Structures are given as C-alpha cells and as structure tokens.
Amino acid sequence: MSVHRLAAVAVALFMSAQAWAQGTNVTLGGLNADPTAPVEVTADSLSVDQENGTAVFSGNVVIGQGDVRISAAEVRVVYGEDTGEIARLVATGGVTFVTATEAAEAANADYDIANGQLTLTGNVLLTQGASALAAERMVVDLTNGTARMDGRVRTVFQQQNGGN
C-alpha cells in the first residue's frame, strides 16, 4: 500500500471516528432553498381545525418548495399567530427528503419555514452519491445549504481509486 493511500485511509478513519463520537457538519451541494418560495402540498385528505389554527394533511403527503421535496404519512401545518401564514410543517410517519443531489430519510421532520430550517429526527440516513451518513438528528439550514448531524453519527466514505 502506498504512503498516499495509507494516509487517505488514516484520514478517513480519523474523520469517521470524529463523526461517530461527536456529530458532524455536512455541506449539501444541491440544497439551497428559498424560504419565501411557494409551498405546495398534496395529500389524500385534509382536516382543518379553525380553533387551534392547524391543518393536518394525511395519506401520501408530498410537500414541494423549489427543488426540495418532502414526503410523509402525515403533515401538520402550523400557522403563525401574527401573520396567519404557514410557519411550520411537522411531518410524521416516515419522512423522505429529496433534492437534486441528496436524499434523507427519518422518522419525523419539523420544517420551520420562516427560518429556513429543517430538523429530521429518528434514524436519520443521508445519502450523497455513494457516501452515506446516519444519525439520530440532522438540522438542515436551507438558506445556506449546510447541515449538522448529532446523536451517534455513523458514516461510510467511498474513496476514488487513485491508481495506487
């Protein structure tokens, strides 16, 4: 094994150990969303509660905003008290989050539209090409395209074969 290849393996193992122990920051290449873009929701059914200012979409729910797609079994829409506009979307029942270059799965998601922040919780799995990261929680900043993963972070790095 060449010195360069050995160094690459050592760095990958070190990075993997750090990610495993602490949490990790992730750059999401194709993920920049405009929190002011329209939000489209489709579902099998909708239930609205005027008293507490919520709506619940259920059955094959798909949320789209720009290039971002979120699907789940159920999504509760929370309206802002001051504006009456959608403030948050809370998805449960298995959530899939997809962009042009990344995909993530989790048990639940909380999308704070005003702040452009998506929090995925429960067995989070993020795939980026051939690489994968798993954790208990991932917080995505949709404005700048970054994420932070916490809670027993596990990773697999796929290395390019450099010929040596």
Angle 112-26-3 from CA coordinates, rounded to 5°: 175
- Name which residue leads in pLDDT, 33 or 122: 122
Q: What is the band of 140 on the pLDDT scale with cuts at 50, 70, 90?
A: confident
* Overall pTM > 0.75: no
The answer to whether 97 touches 69, Cβ cutoff 8 Å, is yes
Average pLDDT score, the chain: 77
CATH (one of 1.10.10.10, 1.10.150.20, 2.60.450.10, 1.10.630.10) for 3-156 = 2.60.450.10
Q: What is the band of 18 on the pLDDT scale with cuts at 50, 70, 90?
A: very low
The predicted-structure confidence for 55-94, as pLDDT tens digits, reads as follows 999 999 998 887 778 899 999 988 887 887 888 889 999 9
Angle 95-62-69 from CA coordinates, rounded to 5°: 75
Terminal CA-to-CA distance of the chain, rounded, Å?
Answer: 7
The domain spans of the chain are 3-156
Q: What is the pLDDT of residue 6?
A: 29
